[in-house]
Structure 1
Amino acid sequence: MAYKQIVAAAILDSLSHPRKLLAARRTSPPALAGLWEFPGGKLESGESCEAGVARELVEELGVEVMLGTEVFGPEPEGWVLNEHAAMRVWFAEITDGTPDTLEDHDQLAWVELDAESLKALDWIPADLPIVHAVLADTLAGATR
């Protein structure tokens, strides 16, 4: 099945010594409003996944990033979100700008990289397996 490709970033305070993850709270669609996610979005025609992540983070948060390793999902397209879309996620570190809620989000939060802190947020259900993978990868030192 061909999925619409979504890209996102697990933004860390540091790729080399991560302690915190930046989470973003959605404002729409109504079914997802108020839930937390990894910032990102749809690829544009002809755009590479890495370029799409960088563009989306400028548009949504006003930041430029350095990408680390990919948080590999179970499918070639990454993590299946629903019957139509799958998302690839990269670790990232901000290199320029201060994150702000410019588009699609009403709140940002730097969350400690531990199970208790991450579980305290009401994540979009499709993002929960990614949250677990992010935590496992950071504990294993596989972020850059």
Structure 2
Amino acid sequence: MTELINVVGGAVVDSLADPRSLLVARRTAPPQFAGMWEFPGGKVDPGEAPEEALHRELREELGVEVRLGPELSAGAPAGWPLNPKAAMRVWFAELTAGTPQPLEDHDELRWVALANAEEVLGLPWIPADLPIVEALLAAVSAQPSPN
């Protein structure tokens, strides 16, 4: 049996304390996913901690630094299944430096309002990311508002 490919993704929000907007990224490749939306991120390199990989990937893909918040629970230690060979762990993240730019693997970035689930779910998501998006919307709507 081959080892599962570990992937990390960032649910980059405008505020960890009171998330109202989510930064989403539109893929340019591979062809079957070009034009579809996803969480920015990528593969964890050998010997790299998942959180380190996420910081590296967000620097490479978007040119930003982030503060990581809680992980979005997948209910499985390996994370959210992407396909039979790969699983992704997703963390909430907040920008701390830089302005997001589509530097690598993406041609467009967009902030979407988390209060508008129809807008968020109406984007053509990579199919494996859709259950993660639904869980993220549920987690954010269950979060108490700060006073």
Give the TM-score band, short-chain normalised.
over 0.9
Q: Distance in 2 between matches of 1:105 and 1:26?
A: 4
How big is the alpha-carbon RMSD for the aligned residues of Structure 1 and Structure 2?
1.1
Amino acid at match of 1:131: V
SS in 2 for 1:81: strand
1:68 is aligned to 69
Q: Distance in 1 between matches of 2:85 and 2:125?
A: 20
Cα deviation code 1:36-93 (max 9, x no counterpart): 0000000111100100000000000000000000001132110000011000000000
% identical aligned pairs:
59
Query: Cα distance, 1:15 vs. partner?
Result: 0.6
Structure 1, unmatched stretches of 5+, are none
Question: Normalising to structure 2: TM-score of the pair?
Answer: 0.93
Query: Cα distance, 1:6 vs. partner?
Result: 0.2
Query: Cα distance, 1:138 vs. partner?
Result: 1.0
Amino acid at match of 2:122: A
1:141 is aligned to 143
Structure 2, unmatched stretches of 5+, are none
2:117 is aligned to 115
Q: Distance in 1 between matches of 2:119 and 2:130?
A: 13
SS in 2 for 1:80: strand
1:128 is aligned to 130
2:9 is aligned to 8
Moved over 2 A (4+): none
Query: Cα distance, 1:141 vs. partner?
Result: 2.0
Amino acid at match of 2:97: D
Amino acid at match of 2:13: L
